[in-house]
Amino acid sequence: MGKTEKIDVMNKKLPYVLPCITVFMWTFSFVGGQNAVAETKSLFHCGLARADITPAKPVQMSGYASRKDLSQGVHDPLSVRVIAFEKEGKKLVLVSTDVLGFYGGTAEKIRSVLLKRCPLAPSELFLCAIHTHAAPTVTLDEKTAHRNNVEYTQTLTGTIGDCIEAALQSMAPAAMGTGRGFSPIGMNRREKRMVTSADGSAQAVINLGRNPYGPTDKEVLVARISRWDGSPVAALFDYACHSTSLGPRNYLISGDILGLAEQCVEKILGGSLMAPAFAGACGDIDPWFRVLPEFNTEPGWIPEPVLLATLLGEEVVHTFRKIDSLSDKGTIRTSIATLKLPAKENKDFMPAEPREAELTITAACVGQVAFIGFGCEMLTEIGMAIKKASPFPYTFVITHCNGAAGYLPPADLYPEGGYEVQSSHFAPEAAEIVVRHAGKMLHALHAD
């Protein structure tokens, strides 16, 4: 990451220098003078850009507190993928980044830099992470973090800004269609086990494992972006699954499930097509094969992260190829809200002090397709409830978006406990408030 090169796109030199960025541009010929110019301004436009963000130096890796050493190599590259929509002056920019998330206040700091640099309203920017646990820790804390990670994050911020600018500058008329597939690779991880206490009594506890009968959202939503002539340029997809096929003993950089699926889709569909992934409501969903120590290179063995990612990627491709209805119609609308939600009881609070935990929700629609982003790790039951409440035929629920407020479990899981409940900052009633508010935001976008 950080290499700088000039890029020749469509045999035209870009008027700026970008670090390792591929810009997707297309042009159309119109006739009719000023009337033709006016016509293009009322059309649905799209611009795309992608850049390599693989660390050039060893870095601290994120996702597991027990992993202390620096990375020891790269299995597959990391990327940032940006897709920008525009119609009649209203914009929406979706950023998919192959990292764990933007924790420790980095979401707010990076968004601040990006919004100052790029002509966007706060509600028009979705800064998202695919939640791979095999990526560098994103941090700007020079006191506690390794200097390579701080340097990486500073460069990453600049690269994301370059990509957004490139995507906005490459806007051209486009059309979009949406489809729905299903994948079995995600599995509820809240496994109930019986343990014997010191007095000999049996007690049920929730561990991280496999719960084949627990709720999972198998839906794979896919948006196909094409030129006016039908040539595809992007396959945007959303799926609810942690990228935790690799565990804390892995020291190779990787996109894990969602990152490898992006690469799979791009390789199959070929050309310069871009496949940005977004993590759905997957707080309690892990891959079927989870927290493995490494990529198994045993003869005849397909490494589990590759196997699962290929299954997901091929379902994205199947769904993508079945989308035969494309539209350049529809208005772009966006909104953003920061909720002050009830927090857990905390002995450190004074009795009169309000107990609140903040959560940012960002909502948008492009025609009849909705995108709603949450700055938290939302459990899958909540995501499914939001989809059910949405007035849109397709609703992309996106987590790790514009914030990192930790786990948001539904109220009925609090008596069971478990990792997600224990580590959450939110009180049991918070989830229901989020579902109601998200539904109101979506209905307001649909009604405008």
Rg of the chain over Cα atoms, rounded to whole angstroms, equals 22
Provide the residue-wise pLDDT of the chain in tens; the chain has 448 residues: 433 222 222 222 322 233 557 766 443 333 333 333 334 455 789 999 999 999 999 999 999 999 999 999 999 999 999 999 999 999 999 999 999 999 999 999 999 999 999 999 999 999 999 999 999 999 999 999 999 999 999 999 999 999 999 999 999 999 999 999 999 999 999 999 988 887 888 888 999 999 999 999 999 999 999 987 889 999 999 999 999 999 999 999 999 999 999 999 999 999 999 999 999 999 999 999 999 999 999 999 999 999 999 999 999 999 999 999 999 888 999 999 999 999 998 644 445 455 899 999 999 999 999 999 999 999 999 999 999 999 999 999 999 999 999 999 999 999 999 999 999 999 999 999 999 999 999 999 998 7
C-beta of residue 280 within 8 angstroms of C-beta of residue 372: no
Q: Of 383, 388, 381, give the one whose Cα is nearest residue 373.
A: 383
- What's residue 204's pLDDT? 87
Beta strands in 200-296 (DSSP E): 202-208, 219-226, 232-239, 252-253, 277-279, 285-287
- What's residue 200's pLDDT? 80
- What's residue 353's pLDDT? 55
Check residue 300 and report its DSSP letter.
T
Count the Cβ atoms, other than its own, within 10 Å of residue 415.
8
- What's residue 307's pLDDT? 98
Distance CA 97, CA 78 (A): 8
- What's residue 34's pLDDT? 38
C-beta of residue 326 within 8 angstroms of C-beta of residue 176: yes
For residue 127, the number of C-alpha atoms closer than 13 Å in the C-beta half-sphere is 28
User: Residue ranges per domain, the chain?
Assistant: 332-447
- What's residue 346's pLDDT? 63
**430-447 vs 380-389: helix crossing angle, rounded to 10:** 30
- What's residue 287's pLDDT? 98
Q: Of 427, 419, 425, 306, give the one whose Cα is nearest residue 64.
A: 419
Cα of first residue to Cα of last residue in the chain, in angstroms, is 42
Q: Is 122 exposed, middle or buried (0-12, 13-18, 19+ CB in 10 A)?
A: middle
Q: How many helices (H) and strands (E) does the chain have?
A: 8, 24
- What's residue 24's pLDDT? 63
- What's residue 373's pLDDT? 98
- What's residue 17's pLDDT? 31
